[in-house]
Amino acid sequence: MIIHMYSTEGQEINMKMEKSILPVKQIIPFANVDGKGNRTAIFVQGCNLNCVYCHNPETIKLPCAETNETKYTLEDLINIIKQYSPYIRGITVSGGEATLYSSYITQLFKEVKKLGLTCYIDTNGIFNKEKIQDLIEVTDKFLFDVKGINSLSKVTRKDIEFSFDNLEYLLKLDKVEEVRTVCIKDYIDLKDTVTAISNVIKRNNNVIYKLIRVHYRGLKKEQAINIKDFIPSKKEMIELENLAKSIGVKNVVTIL
């Protein structure tokens, strides 16, 4: 089955899960790579993709007897965030895939905003925007990961096709802080991907386009061996950066 742009898996999980409980793999009290400023990053359990280079593979499996996550009530999580609130600008919910838990996170964000904090979502972009309207409304910014624009089943190990609907929609609402592509050779067509994304985001001067050279540190041994052969050279990364700039993206950050 081909899943066009969004996964209905997310909706199903949301309906099955208790809306008052969030399965959390890890909380990082102070993070500075998950959006602007010092932020508390919350990594949920469960993802609708299964990327070959995933650095949080333990978060992929949907909550089950084998997964070892902590289940937080809204009150518990708010109390934890309150402890950090004097030192942070906001929170970022990442994963796994945060949009799988849109009902809970919508409630969470409404409460967190009362503390004067901003609320971000880090997403792989595979969601049904109609189904998460409330979440979109209450989210300040999205960090939006585009895995590639074609042959995505190779890199995500799911039968999906990407379209730019969700990204364009969030850009129009000025809800995107960063678009990100993990650059891995052969699994995705890097030039086509960077070209297509750059053409979509070039008019949004404030949006950062982050090009991340895939790396294997922290991956399981078998996984790392596979990835090693597909790492772009520094020269290739700079060429991609220049390509994005030549199309008109003002704010390109390359992570080598």
Least separation in angstroms between CB 145 and ligand SF4? 7
Residue 198 is a binding residue for ligand SF4 (CB under 6 A): no
Measured distance CA(98)–CA(9) in Å, rounded: 13
- The DSSP secondary structure of 188-212, one letter per residue, reads S-HHHHHHHHHHHHTT-TT-EEEEE
Q: Which stretch binds ligand SF4 (CB under 6 A): 23-31, 43-51, 103-111, 188-196?
A: 43-51
Least separation in angstroms between CB 100 and ligand SF4? 10
Strand-pair partners of 17: none
Q: Which stretch binds ligand SF4 (CB under 6 A): 16-24, 53-61, 69-77, 135-143?
A: 53-61
Q: Which CB sits closer to ligand SF4, 82 or 154?
A: 154
The answer to whether residues 23 and 73 touch, using CB atoms and an 8 Å cutoff, is no
Among 24, 47, 117, 179, binds ligand SF4 (CB under 6 A): 47
- Copy the structure tokens of residue 157: 């190990």
Residue 106 is a binding residue for ligand SF4 (CB under 6 A): no
**Of 16, 7, 200, 159, nearest to 97 (Cα)?**
7
Among 42, 60, 200, 237, binds ligand SF4 (CB under 6 A): 60
Helix boundaries (H) for 133-233: 133-138, 152-156, 165-172, 190-201, 221-228
Residue 138 is a binding residue for ligand SF4 (CB under 6 A): no
- Per DSSP bridges, beta strands 118-123 and 90-94 are parallel
- Copy the structure tokens of residue 240: 């991609």
The answer to whether residues 34 and 92 touch, using CB atoms and an 8 Å cutoff, is yes
Residue 133 is a binding residue for ligand SF4 (CB under 6 A): no
Residue 56 is a binding residue for ligand SF4 (CB under 6 A): yes
Residue 125 is a binding residue for ligand SF4 (CB under 6 A): no
**Of 128, 29, 43, 156, nearest to 81 (Cα)?**
29
Least separation in angstroms between CB 51 and ligand SF4? 3
Residue 88 is a binding residue for ligand SF4 (CB under 6 A): no
Q: Which CB sits closer to ligand SF4, 124 or 193?
A: 124
Q: Which CB sits closer to ligand SF4, 10 or 95?
A: 95
Q: Which stretch binds ligand SF4 (CB under 6 A): 54-62, 71-79, 169-177, 233-241?
A: 54-62
**Of 180, 188, 171, nearest to 129 (Cα)?**
171
* Site residues for ligand SF4 per CB under 6 A: 47, 49-51, 54, 56, 59-60, 95-97, 124
